[in-house]
Amino acid sequence: MKPDDKKVRNIGISAHIDSGKTTLTERILYYTKRIHAMHDVKGKDGVGATMDSMELEKERGITIASAATYCEWKGYEINIIDTPGHVDFTIEVERSLRVLDGAVLVLCAVGGVQSQSITVDQQMKRYKVPCIAFVNKCDRNGANPFRVINQLKTKLGHNAVAMQIPIGLETQTEGVVDLATMKALYFDGEMGEVIRAEEIPQSLLEEAKAKREELIEAFNIALIVGGSIVIPHLRYAFDVMDEIFNDGKE
C-alpha cells in the first residue's frame, strides 16, 4: 500500500554538543513504540542509544554522522534525522537540512544558546527550515528555561514564546503546564510513559495565564497577513482544544 505523501514529515533534531539530541530521539522512539527499551548515550548499560550505531559514537557519547529513523504518531509517518552537535561535523547538519520539512532546536536549560546553536540556527535560516525549540535538562542545577527563551530573542532574533512552563526546576521538577490546554501534565510510570492531567497548581495559575496571553499575542503577530490579524480564530482554536481536552466538561 502506497503511503499518503501528505502524512509524511521529515524532521531534524539539531543542537550544540551535549544538549541531549540523541537522548531526545531515543525518548521519541520509545514513546511512539518504535523501540521497547531506552538506553543511555555512551553505552553505560553496554548497549548505547539506538541512533549511535558506530562504536566510536558509543564510546565518546557524541554523534559523528547523521542517522535516520522513523516513527508513527497519530496517523503520520515521521522520518527523524539525528544530526551531530560537534562543530567538526557541522557539514552533516548542512546536508540533512536540505531535505527537512521542519526541525527541533534542542537547547540546554543550563547552557542556553551556545556557539553551535547559533551555527545551526543560521543553517536553518539559510535553507528556510521552520523550527521549534525544545528546552532540555530542566532538572539540572542552574536550569532556567525562561533565560533560554530570552536568549532565543536576543541572540537568535526569534519571536520566541513558551508553549509550556515547568512545574518546579532542578531537583524539584514535577511536570509541565501546557499553555494551549491550560492543564498541568505529570509523567507517571517507570519511564514517564503515563501522562496524568490535573488542574494547574494555584501557585502557577497567574503565571500560566500571563504566559498564555504572550503565546496568543505572538501568534497574532506571526499571522498578520495583508494587515489582517486573525485574533478571533486563534482564541477559537484554543477554546476548541480546551473543549476536546476536557471532553466537553467544565
Maximum pairwise Cα distance, the chain:
58
From first to last of the 250 residues of the chain, give the pLDDT tens digit.
Answer: 456 778 888 888 887 777 778 888 888 888 888 888 776 665 556 666 665 555 555 555 555 567 788 889 888 898 988 776 555 556 667 777 778 888 899 999 999 998 888 988 888 888 888 888 999 999 999 999 999 999 999 999 888 899 999 999 999 999 999 998 999 999 998 888 899 999 999 999 999 999 999 988 887 776 654 344 444 444 444 454 444 444 444 4
Per DSSP, what are the bridge partners of residue 234?
none
Amino acid identity of residue 20, one-letter, is G
What are the domain boundaries of the chain?
Answer: 1-160, 161-250
Q: Dihedral of CA 201/205/211/216: which sign?
A: positive
Whole-structure pTM value: 0.78
Class of domain 1-160: alpha beta
Q: In the structure grid, which three cell numbers stand for residue 8, read together?
A: 509524511
DSSP state of 249: -
Rg of the chain on CA atoms, in Å: 19
CB 124 within 8 A of CB 103: yes
Per DSSP, what are the bridge partners of residue 133?
105
Q: In the structure grid, which three cell numbers stand for residue 165, read together?
A: 512552563
Q: Which of 104, 103, 120 is nearest to 155 (CA)?
A: 120
Buried b (16+ CB within 10 A) or exposed e, 53-77: eeeebbeebbbbebbebbbeeeeee
